[in-house]
Amino acid sequence: MSNTNQGPVTVLGLGMMGAALANAFVQNGNPTTVWNRSAGKADALVAQGAVLAADVRQAIEASPVVVACVSTYEVLNDLLAGAATELKGKVVVNLTSGTPEDARALAVWAEQNGVRYLDGAIMAVPQMIGLPQALIFYAGAQELFAEHEDLLKPLAGTNVYLGTDTGVPMIYDLGLLSLLWSSLAGYFHAVSLVNSAGVSAEAFTPFALTWIEHVITPAIPQSAQEIDSANFETEVSSLGVNKAAIEHLVATSRQLGINSDFSAAIQALIERRVAQGHAGHSLASLVEAFKQG
């Protein structure tokens, strides 16, 4: 995403993601100062025109906006605490992943230390940074986001502001990761089953993709409507029907020596809702089972 806002920016952290972020700024023409614990990771960026700072304080002093992307909030908190004087009046855009509470706590620290803070969650892998399909969620003061939206455009094609609660980007991040892990785990379980019959993953995959397209994808907006209206009446696929079907999945997995923990966990949620009198409700009503802890 090229951008006409070519203001100076500092990037703290040049791991796989931080290096991709710094590279996007350099390619956009932003004067880019970088710092990383292992300085050698800056070599390729310096060759492209980035400036390597000797330490975190010098890196922060170099630019009004500091984009941070290190492994954890614990690491970042230590780095920022060690440069609290230099950070006064600066903008920190934190793209490190953690929990919503990590993000909220850092926002409080920033406020107490005169730092203007935006928290972000990157929904992309490093090779997507700078491309239209990259998505970054942001939260923090609205005027702060509006002021820096253009500067941040080289990082992702889609930048979504989610409000002032800095914990919310991490909630979206964790929600989408939950979707990623559970849907892929479902695929891996399915492949384990078909492998047991001598069917390769590649032979099975076209059917998996068709199933996703025609059954799973339409079920998501349909479920959203049911959840938001709290109306789970269905004549299509009730929890009672699913309860009987998932028993077969768990039993067959066990018979074949395939791990059934994942499907047993879903089975337990279905059984709980059925026991609570919701056998006639749709699968979407499992959201209530999740909320019961």
Q: Is 167 in the site for ligand NAP (CB under 6 A)?
A: no
- Residue 97 Cβ, how far from ligand NAP at the closest point, in Å? 3
Residue 108 touching ligand NAP (CB under 6 A): no
CB 124 within 8 A of CB 134: yes
How many chain residues touch ligand NAP (CB under 6 A)?
19
- Smallest distance, ligand NAP to C-beta of residue 259, A: 26
Contact pick of 37, 57, 104, 272 for ligand NAP (by CB under 6 A): 37
CA 96 to chain CA mean position, Å: 10
The binder of ligand NAP chosen from 44, 46, 75, 105 (CB under 6 A) = 75
Asked if 13 is part of the footprint of ligand NAP (rule: CB under 6 A), the reply reads yes
**Distance between CA 98 and CA 74 in Å, rounded?**
9
Start-to-end CA distance of the chain, whole Å, equals 42
Q: Does 41 bind ligand NAP (CB under 6 A)?
A: yes
Q: Quick check: 36 binds ligand NAP (CB under 6 A)? A: yes
Stretch that binds ligand NAP, among 1-9, 35-43, 83-91, 216-224 (CB under 6 A): 35-43
Rank residues 13 and 130 by Cβ distance to ligand NAP and give the closer one: 13
Give the strands of the sheet with 135-140, arranged side by side: 51-52, 32-35, 9-12, 65-68, 91-94, 116-123, 135-140, 158-161
Residue 52's beta-bridge partner residues?
Answer: 34
CA distance 53 to 258: 52
Under DSSP, the state recorded for 43 is H
Binding to ligand NAP by CB under 6 A, coded x per residue (else -) over 117-156, reads: -----x--xx------------------------------
What is the distance between the alpha carbons of residues 77 and 219, in angstroms, rounded to a whole number? Answer: 41
| Residue with Cβ nearer ligand NAP (14 or 91) | 14
